[in-house]
A and B are shown apart, each in its own frame.
Chain A
Amino acid sequence: MAANVALLGDAPFLILQLLLDGLMIGAIFAVAAYGMALVWGVMNVINVVQGELVMLGGFIAYQLTLWGLSPLWGVPVAAIVLYFVGAGLHHVVIRRVADRDMFISLLATFGLSILLQQLMNQIWGGDVKTAQSGLGTWFLLDYTVTVSQMKVAAFGGAIAIGAVLIIFLKRSRLGQAIRATAQNPRAARILGIDTNRVFAATYGINAALCGAAGALVVMAYSVHPYIGLPYTVRSFMIVIVAGLGNLPGVIVAGLGLGAAENFAGFILGVQYQVAFVFCLLVVILVIRSTLLQRRRQFLK
């Protein structure tokens, strides 16, 4: 561990490499987190199945390659398929738990996450899957830093997806209804907004977002039925740190998390990278509760 830290000091290009890689995957974290914040803010549900939706999007793009299509098609196709998966999940499960105690919706979406894991495992098997995009690699600074073109494309794709979503929320009628419902569900209902439809659409849009992100993940990185939960936890951390409805915060926190995770993986060893994510979650929650406690207890 100390040796790894020393190595970082000796080879500054490594720092650049880790930083670049981290920022690039961080954009994808930010997209998934933005979707989680949307569902959380609008329907007061913490969507534990978030990461599995990302994985599902990845598997759909992978499936397209099996049928001889370019995985790039996966981005729109996964988004569309996932929209309907999301709307379906909302109809069968989410709408029945959304207005109950938050623990119930937490447990229900956790159950969905286990269900989807098993389903994906059953359909696509328990191996790591990637989809070849056919893009190459750039070498920078005398071959000391490598940049996968696909990762750059994924980074750009994540930004584009986020931009589309934001324009949609600002401009479209449905987007405005979603934002109105997020601010005050009861008032929205009085104004004649069908909140149940808004909820279904919100959940569907979030799923579509995850699906598109997943298609980028399978091309630039890889997917596996059981590695969805870390994506959920990352989204959750980002939302906690940034706060609901704070878009710049989500972006900064997402990129920061991506970078932090990459450095931790390098210093602690890759086998501990996921452990780092979950430990970081606990640490962030402890810090949060301590700050709240302070505010309650002491004079300023």
Chain B
Amino acid sequence: MSGHRQPLLMLAVAAVGVALPFVIPDYRAQIAMLWALVIMAQTWDITGGQTGYNSFGNILFFGVGMYASVVVQRDVGLDFFPGLVLGMVVGAGIAAALAVLLGSMILRMRGHYFAIATLGLGIAAGEIAGGWDYLGAGSGLSPPLFPAPPGTANLFFAYLYFGVAALVFVALAALYRTRFGLALNAIRDNEDKAEAMGLHTGVYKVTAWTMAAFVLGLVGGAMGNMLGFVDPRDTAFAGATFGVWMVLMAILGGKGTLWGPVLGAVIFHITQELLWTHLLGWQRVALGVIIVGIVVFFPQGILGWARTRWPARHEHQGHGSERA
């Protein structure tokens, strides 16, 4: 996406995002989920694609946001919307605090040790939630219902997640243009060298992960209300679904790029919805095949592939130092 076409493309996507819930009103729930998945892929890519720290456990922040939000809504006793907003904010805050705390311990690990540690965190969280009575233990929690018919509720969530996704996109586009973005890339390319040049690599890594955690907490904070239930292993800390999907969507689209995660999420979600209706019972098996297939045969992703295909069109993901 070279410089001058970027705004046009963003406008086009924004127009689609605004119109979609009215063009295909029957699919509002899926549209909302689509934007939520886009956000998951975008935020995964902050550490995974840009910084080279591949997390298998970002689902942790999503789940923490989900539980925190529902508990706030259950215990504070506000009306639906103020309760939801407060819940989302608290969820995002706790997720971010957790990222600072855990990140400062586990982001010191290199490569696959970090990936495995995050995998452990995500699953441990699900297991703890599943045993903790305050959080409804294995049967989970029921969030307050949206005070309107389902069609309206899904319209609300579709726009909510679309709005967040658009904000995140614009924010990341700006972030990756700063020297902070360059610092993340430097860590990805050669962390020892980055340290040898005097960069505070630890601080940047924790900051990057915290940004992702904050947004994921926000997304999780509304997901309970959208789905109508919170369950420790199937929704909140669903490592085998949302948890890997976010990694996969970013890889499918092209990790380390601005548009890749968006593209990957859209393609993945549509494929998955088609599978759901056509492969009764076997969809999850088919999803497993897709996951393995993408990783084995297409790890460079769509944009990575396009870049090797057309190297002449020099892409630069909007880094400021290219052409100011």
Does A187 reach chain B (CB closer than 8 Å)? no
Contacts of B116-158 to chain A: CB distance below 8 A: 116-117, 119-121, 123-124, 127-128, 130-131, 137-138
Q: Which residue of chain A has its CB nearest to the CB of B297?
A: A96
Does B285 reach chain A (CB closer than 8 Å)? yes
Q: Is A117 a contact partner of B116 (Cβ separation < 8 A)? A: no
Does A56 reach chain B (CB closer than 8 Å)? no
Contacts of B131 in A (CB 8 A): 269, 271-272, 275
Q: Is B292 a contact partner of A108 (Cβ separation < 8 A)? A: yes
Selecting from A158-166, A189-197, A206-214, A280-288, the interface stretch reads A280-288
Complex CA–CA separation, A236 to B116 (angstroms): 9
Size of the B side of the interface (Cβ < 8 Å), in residues, is 41
CB distance from A72 to the nearest CB of B (A): 31
* Pick from B284, B292, B297: contact of A112, CB under 8 Å: B292
Does B109 reach chain A (CB closer than 8 Å)? yes
CB distance from B141 to the nearest CB of A (A): 17
Contacts of A111 in B (CB 8 A): 244, 288, 291-292, 295
Q: Is A278 a contact partner of B295 (Cβ separation < 8 A)? A: no
Q: Is B288 a contact partner of A118 (Cβ separation < 8 A)? A: yes
Complex CA–CA separation, A199 to B281 (angstroms): 35
Does A64 reach chain B (CB closer than 8 Å)? no
- Most chain A beta-carbon neighbours within 10 Å: one of B56, B115, B138, B292: B292
For chain A, what secondary structure do more than half of its interface residues adopt (helix, strand, loop), or is it mixed?
helix
Contacts of B251 in A (CB 8 A): 107
Contacts of A264-294 to chain B: CB distance below 8 A: 269, 271-272, 274-275, 278-279, 281-282, 285-286, 288-290, 293
Q: Is B120 a contact partner of A279 (Cβ separation < 8 A)? A: yes
Given known contacts A278-B120, A278-B127, A104 and B299 CB-to-CB distance under 8 angstroms:
yes
Does A244 reach chain B (CB closer than 8 Å)? no
CB distance from A20 to the nearest CB of B (A): 25
CB distance from B136 to the nearest CB of A (A): 13
Q: Which residue of chain B has its CB nearest to the CB of A279?
A: B124
* Pick from B121, B247, B285, B299: contact of A282, CB under 8 Å: B121
Q: Is B56 a contact partner of A122 (Cβ separation < 8 A)? A: no
Q: Is B299 a contact partner of A122 (Cβ separation < 8 A)? A: no
CB distance from B311 to the nearest CB of A (A): 21
A162-194 CB mask vs B (1 if < 8 Å, else 0) is 000000000000000000000000000000000
Contacts of B196 in A (CB 8 A): none
Does A119 reach chain B (CB closer than 8 Å)? yes
Interface size class on chain A is: 35 or more
Does B203 reach chain A (CB closer than 8 Å)? no
CB distance from A218 to the nearest CB of B (A): 22
CB distance from A55 to the nearest CB of B (A): 14
Complex CA–CA separation, A121 to B287 (angstroms): 14
Contacts of A122-138 to chain B: CB distance below 8 A: 122
Q: Is A118 a contact partner of B284 (Cβ separation < 8 A)? A: yes
Contacts of A272 in B (CB 8 A): 127-128, 131
Does A233 reach chain B (CB closer than 8 Å)? yes
Q: Is A46 a contact partner of B292 (Cβ separation < 8 A)? A: no
Complex CA–CA separation, A264 to B282 (angstroms): 37
Does B276 reach chain A (CB closer than 8 Å)? no
Q: Which residue of chain B has its CB nearest to the CB of A100?
A: B299
Does B227 reach chain A (CB closer than 8 Å)? no
* Pick from A100, A102, A118: contact of B112, CB under 8 Å: A102
Contacts of B269-320 to chain A: CB distance below 8 A: 281-282, 284-285, 287-289, 291-292, 295-297, 299
Chain B residues in the interface with A (C-beta under 8 A) = 54, 56, 105-106, 108-109, 111-113, 115-117, 119-121, 123-124, 127-128, 130-131, 137-138, 240, 244, 247-248, 251, 281-282, 284-285, 287-289, 291-292, 295-297, 299
Instruction: Please give 4 more A-B residue pairs, beta carbons under 8 A apart, in addition to A103-B115, A107-B251, A115-B288.
Output: A46-B116, A96-B297, A103-B111, A107-B295
**Nearest 4 CB-CB pairs, A to B?**
A115-B288, A275-B127, A271-B131, A278-B124
A–B complex contacts, Cβ < 8 Å, 13 sampled? A93-B292, A96-B296, A103-B112, A112-B292, A115-B289, A118-B287, A271-B137, A275-B127, A275-B131, A281-B116, A282-B124, A289-B106, A290-B108
